[in-house]
Every structure is written in C-alpha cells, then in structure tokens.
Structure 1
Amino acid sequence: MQLKNLRLKIPAIIAFSLLLMGETIDLLADIALNTLLAIFTELLELFVTIGFFTLIYYTYLNRIKNKRRRGSRK
C-alpha cells in the first residue's frame, strides 16, 4: 500500500505504532497474568485493527474516485 497523501500517512503511522504498543503491553500482561490489562489490550488491538482496515478501505475509495475524475477529463 502506497500512501502519498500526508493526511493518510499520519493516521497509518499512529495506528501501526498503537498496534505495536498493544502487542508490547500484551506480552507484559501475559507475564504478569493481569486479566484486566489483557482484556484492555485486546480491545485496544481490536479498535486499532478496525481503524487500520478502515484507512485501507478509505484509500481504496479515494483511488476509485480519482480514476473516475481522470476518466471524465479525457
């Protein structure tokens, strides 16, 4: 996936860093066996994953919209 637009790069970087942070907290929660922390981490990963796939779908829709604009000019 190639993100050329800065408005799309920033949320992608934030989502990826939150996902990595969630995995780190998940490892720490497994070591400490803290159930609430593990549940919180899994919910965080769920929301970040949903947001990341929403971002990918948004870029897909923008690509389709840009193709339609280019097609109407020719």
Structure 2
Amino acid sequence: MPHPDGGWQVKRDGNQKASHRTDRKVDAEKLARPISQHQGTELQIHGKDGAIQRSDSHGHDPNPPKDKA
C-alpha cells in the first residue's frame, strides 16, 4: 500500500508500522508475497488511492474457485 510519506509499504493488517518501505510498488509486492505465503495470509495489493486492486489468498480461502465439470 502507499506510504503516507511517499513510496510504498509492506504492512500486515492491523499493524501500525510497516515492516518494509520501498520506493517502487513492484519492490514492495516482491517483498510482501513470500511473507504472505509463509504466514498463510491474504495478500492485498493497493493502488495509489489506497483502494485494493487485487488480492491473492495464501491461506484458507473462504471462497475457493469451483472446479468446472
């Protein structure tokens, strides 16, 4: 998500402080993905306006994709 002082931050939901801060969004996403996979959490990628652009579930997905028969 965007950092209030500029750049991008990696931050777990509910935490006040970011665990990482980068200049580029792509770098923040590269740092966040393995953290999310290791912790089994949902990764949410935010745009400059703070809105969620996309999510990737790395844990228990309450709405898994349905197999097409």
Instruction: State if a TM-score over 0.5 links the two structures.
Output: no
Q: What is the TM-score when the length of structure 1 is the normalising length?
A: 0.23
Q: Which structure exhibits the higher relative contact order, with contacts defined as CA atoms closer than 8 Å and separated by 6 or more residues? A: 1
More strand as a share of residues: 2
| Bigger-Rg structure (1/2) | 1
